[in-house]
Amino acid sequence: MSEALIHLTPLDLAVATLLVVAAAGLSIVLGLGIERRLGIAALRTVVQLGLLGLVLERVFAVRKPVFVLAMLGAMIFFAGREAVARSTRRYPGIWMDAWFTMAASCLVVGGVVTQVVVGVEPWYDPQYVIPLLGMILGNSLNGISLALERLLEHLHSRAHEVELFLAFGATRSEALSEPLRTALRTGLIPVVNAMTAAGLVSLPGMMTGQILAGAPPLQAVAYQVVVMFMLAAANAMGSILITFGAARRLVAPDGSLRPGRLQEVGGRGRRRRGV
């Protein structure tokens, strides 16, 4: 597939830069006042992706499991941190729950896909393991933070409903059944939407990339289907883990609420929901 690949030169990148500059120019002409943020964002894209590229080149070149695992560890760390940062409420233990959720859903689902479905040889081959697991982390992060936010919001603003159930003899799982169901449904909406619209409204990013890289379209489709199912599983598993983890900490086993443990913070939930 490499014969179809057109290499990008620094000149090509410079031309592409003109596109961002043009967008910034438009902002100045129309007085949108967004040119500064656009510039910073463009710079961050170049620096962050550049660094990632350098790290990946290195990890790909060395091909040692310890480097792959270290990189995965760092990715899980940042994904967990981002999940908590997006939440407008916190509770003691939220960091552990977020990291555990990220690690478990990414490693279990990613493990099945790379080791069983794709059958990567050797098992740690960074060319497959890192992009696939990275996609799982980045995507399930959305579902996980939506589910978490929804559950914490429910336990805060609708605590009296949960308590009403408890007051009439509901067990913890009975009282939490409705909040958990709503939270899980919310967490699964993005991936269900993505699967529904796939190929009709949007050409999925990974498939686009493979086609650009010269892969036969049907092979790209096969990979995209695997990826979609993988993301659905990771979102489901992650949402379940994070909501059950949070519920376990906020409601005692005997069914007494611990609302004092829930604290409101700024959070970035509303602003950052893009892919």
Beta-bridge partner residues of 198 = 202
Give the C-alpha separation, 14 to 17, whole Å.
5
- How far lies 97's CA from each of 100, 144, 155, 173, in Å? 5, 11, 17, 19
**Chain centre to alpha carbon of residue 84:** 12
**Among residues 85, 118, 170, 198, which is the contact residue for other proteins, using CB under 8 A?**
170
Nearest approach in angstroms of CB 97 to other proteins is 20
The yes or no reply on residue 242 touching other proteins (CB under 8 A) is: no
Q: How many chain residues interact with other proteins (CB under 8 A)? A: 19
Assess 264 for contact with other proteins (CB under 8 A): no
Beta bridge partners of 89: 264
| Interface pick for other proteins out of 25, 252, 263, 268 (rule CB under 8 A) | 252
User: Cβ of residue 250: shortest distance to other proteins, in angstroms?
Assistant: 12
Q: What is the DSSP letter of 261?
A: G
Q: Is 181 in the site for other proteins (CB under 8 A)?
A: no
105, two tokens: 């859903």
Q: Which residues ranging from 126 to 165 are in contact with other proteins (CB under 8 A)?
A: 160-161, 163-165
Q: Which residue stretch of 3-11, 92-100, 194-202, 256-264 sits at the interface with other proteins (rule: CB under 8 A)?
A: 256-264
3-class DSSP string for 122-157: CCCCHHHHHHHHHHHHHHHHHHHHHHHHHHHHHHHH
Stretch that binds other proteins, among 67-75, 124-132, 167-175, 238-246 (CB under 8 A): 167-175
Tokens in use for 139? Answer: 């995507």
Q: Is 254 in the site for other proteins (CB under 8 A)?
A: yes
H helices, E strands: number in the chain = 9, 2
Q: Do you find a cis peptide bond into 216, omega within 30 degrees of 0? A: no
Amino acid, res. 237:
M
Residue 91: CB minimum distance to other proteins, A: 15
Residue 33 or 253: which CB sits closer to other proteins? 253
Written as six digits, the tokens of 92 are: 């003691």
State which of positions 90-109 bind other proteins (CB under 8 A): none
Q: CB within 8 A of 254, min separation 6: which ones?
A: 172
> Does 166 contact other proteins by CB under 8 A?
yes
Cβ distance to other proteins smaller for residue 42 or 159: 159
Query: Which x/- pattern over 194-233 shows residues binding other proteins (rule: CB under 8 A)?
Result: ----------------------------------------
Q: Which residues bind other proteins (CB under 8 A)?
A: 160-161, 163-172, 174, 252, 254-258
